[in-house]
Amino acid sequence: MNRCPACGTTYPAEAKFCPRDGSRLVARSIISPPAPRNADSQSAAAPPVGSNTPARATEPPARTMRNTPLTPANLVGKVLEGRYRMIRKVGEGGMSFVYLAHDIATEDRYAIKVLSPALSEDANAMARLRREAALGMRLAHPNVCHIMRLGETEDGMVYVVMPFVEGELLADRTNRIGQIPLSDTVTFVRDMAEGLHVAHQLKIVHRDLKPENVMICQREDATEYAVVMDFGLAKERRAEGELQKLTATGIILGTPEFMSPEQLRGRTLDARTDIYSLALLVYEMLTGKLPFLGRTQQEMMIARLRSDPIPLRRMRSDLSFPEAVERVLSKALQRSPEARYQTTLEFAEAFASAAVDDGRPSDSRILGKLFGR
């Protein structure tokens, strides 16, 4: 279960935001009591004390391992195609498993995402993935975790090799401290915008930009930077008429809090859908909440199609934001793509300029650092 830190309401694990106040939900800890020690819980290899029944030998673990077929979920300790030793699982989702792997020849570290059979057997998804993998090296950028190689094992497991990026997920950072300071937000937005811009120039649209897909990393001098993750991993370009499929029991594609209006409507997407998602992400970084409310997650999605976002200063009256920041976010969150900023760099520069609109000297250094002025 997940819990709203503001109102305390609990929701199913798949929910990410409270529909009452827009707060990001946090995991609710559930501690299971220890199992009772009784006859039923004793090992089959050890008979009860005083029993005349001889102990039964257990089957050697090695034989069990040899008989266990390899799947995307159980690759720890295995060597993929004689090259990548799978060290540990670092993440998983409905369509893939992610491992930390070492190149056995060079000891270089990589992140390897092994796709589920359902995804690897989807001809359209794989055609798109192959096209984007071909562009992967051109997408190499300090602010992007890009595809380095697309491979397939002899038994048909499809995998993607990417740089291994260490840091803290933006979602975890926001959950941990409540909201990101304006100056840090400007820096991270610039980083994300630069990475996205390189992808957009290659006609690659991320389509799934959210805090869980952004890593906050640290350089040797302790300065921080943002890296956009999960580029080009065969995500669907369209929501397939999502609004028509909303039901009382859930949403077809999960909980797409950061989808643009055109993505919710199932329309063709371009770079401007990422700009909308980036603006939603910025709003959450600054406030810890999303700008659209509703009694249910479905109502929150419908509000994104029909309503204007709640102003920053009304959502968080305890925080001070320059009025220009409101104007920039309002433009980036326009329902019509034509009314938004047309490139991520344009949005990032407008946001950085707006952040120093009130003349605060602490923030005025940002522009000089970011834009060389």
Q: What is the DSSP string of 98-144?
A: EEEEEETTT--EEEEEEEPHHHHT-HHHHHHHHHHHHTGGGG-BTTB
Q: What would the two tokens of residue 313 be?
A: 């200063």
Residue 24: how many CB atoms within 10 A of its CB?
A: 21
225: left (phi over 0), alpha (psi -120 to 50) or beta: beta
Among residues 191, 208, 274, 363, which one is catalytic? 208
By residue range, what is the domain housing residue 307? 168-371
- Percentage of the chain lying above the pLDDT 90 cut: 46
Please report, for the domain that includes residue 119, its CATH number: 3.30.200.20
- Which of 120, 140, 163 delimits the end of a domain? 163
Strand blocks (E) in the chain: 2-3, 10-11, 26-27, 79-80, 84-92, 96-103, 109-115, 149-152, 158-163, 168-169, 214-218, 224-228
Residue 320 and residue 209 share a domain: yes
- Which of 145, 163, 181 delimits the end of a domain? 163
Q: Identify whether residues 197 and 244 lie together within a single domain.
A: yes
Residue 202 is assigned to a structural domain of this protein: yes
Q: Are residues 146 and 175 in the same domain?
A: no
Which residues sit opposite 98 in a β-bridge? 91, 113
Residues 241 and 299 in one domain: yes
Are residues 128 and 192 both part of a single domain? no
| 273 contacts: CB under 8 Å, gap ≥ 6 | 205, 207, 259, 260, 262, 263, 337
Residue pointed to by tokens 């819980």: 41
Q: Which of 136, 163, 190 is the last residue of a domain?
A: 163
pLDDT in tens, 72-87: 888 999 999 899 999 9
- Evaluate whether residue 278 is within a structural domain: yes
Two structure tokens written together for 2: 């997940």
pLDDT at site 3: 77
**pLDDT at residue 335 tops 90:** yes
User: Is 89 domain-assigned?
Assistant: yes
Question: Do 173 and 89 share a structural domain?
Answer: no
Q: How many domains would you assign to the chain?
A: 2
Q: Comparing C-alpha atoms, which of 209, 256, 206 is closest to residue 231?
A: 206
Residue 184, both tokens: 């840090």
Q: What is the CATH number of the domain that holds 263?
A: 1.10.510.10
Instruction: Give yes or no: residues 175 and 232 share one domain.
Output: yes
Query: Is 276 or 33 the better-scoring residue by pLDDT?
Result: 276
Q: What is the pLDDT of residues 189-231, one digit of tens each?
A: 999 999 999 999 988 889 889 999 999 999 999 999 999 998 7
Provide the total of helices (H) and of strands (E) in the chain, helices listed first: 12, 12
CA-closest candidate to residue 263, choices 206, 222, 220: 206
- 208 carries an active-site annotation: yes
98 occurs within a structural domain: yes
Alpha helix stretches (DSSP H) within 202-311:
261-264, 271-287, 297-306
Instruction: Yes or no: say if 30 and 3 are a contact pair by the CB < 8 Å rule.
Output: no
Please state, in angstroms and as integers, the Cα–Cα distance from residue 146 to each residue in 121, 204, 276, 300, following that order: 22, 11, 22, 32
More confident site: 271 or 247: 271
